[in-house]
Amino acid sequence: MSYAAFKMMHWATGIENCASGFITHSPAELAAQISPIQAVDLESEWPAKKRIGPIPNVVVTAANVLELYTVRVHEEDGRSSQLSSEPRNGGVMDGLSGAHLELVCHYRLHGNIESMVILSSGGDERSKRRDSILLSFQDAKITVLEYDDAAHELRTSSMHCFEGPDWHYLKRGRESFSRGPTMKIDPVGRCVGALVYDLQMVIMKAAQAGQGLAVDDEPSNMGASASVRIESSYIINLRDLDMMHVKDFTFIHGYIEPVMVILQEKEPTWAGRITWKHHTCMISALSISTTLKQHPLIWSAANLPHDAYKLLPVPSPIGGVLVICANSIHYHSQSVSCSLGLNSFCAQLENSLDMPKSNFTVELDAANATWLSHDVAMFSSKTGELLLLTLVNDGRVVQRLDLMKSKASVLTSGITTVGCSFFFLGSRLGDSLLVQYSSGTSLSASVHAKEEAADVDSDAPLAKKLRRMSSDSLQDYTSGEELSLFSTTSNSSESTQVTT
């Protein structure tokens, strides 16, 4: 007789996936807000407080470990300022003296989590519906989790498995795949897309308000907030659409029906043939009809660089998608496109105008990104450097892309925005950070703007003045140090450091 014993001595701590959503509470249930200032005075010496709206939960995964956190903020009012002579964590920003993460749930699962997304109802701050957590496991398993108020823990809402004898035809004779299931969410929460077995797209329709899969013991949950659930699913074979070598996909904003953009490589190339074949990628936008189970092609863009690897949807009201490459960034929508070169290795498109170049050299391979506002995205590069990408636009028309530098941070494996005042940097190699950011006219920025008042046209548009006089600041609540971003004027390529 032989026996085997196994005991996990050190559980995984390196964060692989992170996301934010209203899991333990709905936006309407959270009342921790700071009143906004109705008017912005450009001549004021003191920065205006930004409104702190409902703050969602932070969900992180590390191998087979799942953790759910709540963000607790420390408000700085008049009474607390009088009682404490020194503000906490080095300063007060937007009326907050600090914040910390409070652990709500901790689970050790029986398999490594491949990807994680938050299924949102897509509502505003008055919405009473909560979000759900979707986890994917190899080879094609998907689990939907929701928060149970009675037990104060997560419970399984539904489980979806596309394995076994009935699904062998999806593998097409293969037994192993290079990556596990990858999931993406429609911005309004109408459906979920999961790429399994490399070229099989599973579309899972979310239940509408007042609908669900199972009937609970309590019919109406006594007025409690219901979570979003999955109603039905169907599979799209991307081979039938002549799509091969899919690199990434995402859902974009601004359409009546869900629109999925797929990044693929039509003719694969390699390093030895880049001189002859270097623009091999393309994107295709499919309109997904979850009712009719149809997916017509509505627009596409070809001749993208071979090193394109990630898609980043642009929030409303601009819309469109950013194609992230190692040496360039491209913006595409149904009617407009523009690009920005990052270094000397970016290849110029054939039969096109000269590609604008960034003021500094950077590589964006293995980078992570999130949106701080509808026109400002933050990138975390492979060297731990934070970059700000601004979409200079006129309404929904993007005119150009501007890239600015920030100070260095940790090497991130994931990044997500938490509400309108925080973002979370998850890392495998270092300490993960919860960072507060604020954009507005700071004290030093106002002084700096007054010193250069001669450079500002008196009859210039208000938006141009705000771009010149605004600055962004970051505060790290883990290390307690304050980070200063670089602010550039719209007419100069030189960077000016603004201290707060």
pLDDT single digits (tens) 55-101: 999 999 999 999 999 999 877 654 333 333 344 445 666 667 788 89
Report the number of secondary-structure helices (H) and strands (E) in the chain: 3, 31
Quote the CA–CA distance of 265 and 9 in Å, as a whole number: 43
Q: Which residues, 6+ apart, have CB-to-CB distance to 145 below 8 Å?
A: 132, 133, 134, 135, 154, 155, 156, 157
Pairing mode, if any, of strands 153-161 and 397-408? unpaired
CA distance 203 to 193: 5
| pLDDT value for 123 | 63
Strands 182-185 and 496-497: unpaired
Contact predicate 64/12, CB 8 Å: yes
pLDDT value for 22: 93
What pLDDT is stored for residue 484 in this prediction? 36
CATH of domain 17-29+50-214+224-388: 2.130.10.10
Low-confidence residues of the chain: pLDDT under 50 = 31-47, 78-89, 209-223, 441-473, 478-500
Give the pLDDT score at 497: 33
How many other C-beta atoms lie within 10 A of the C-beta of residue 67?
Answer: 17
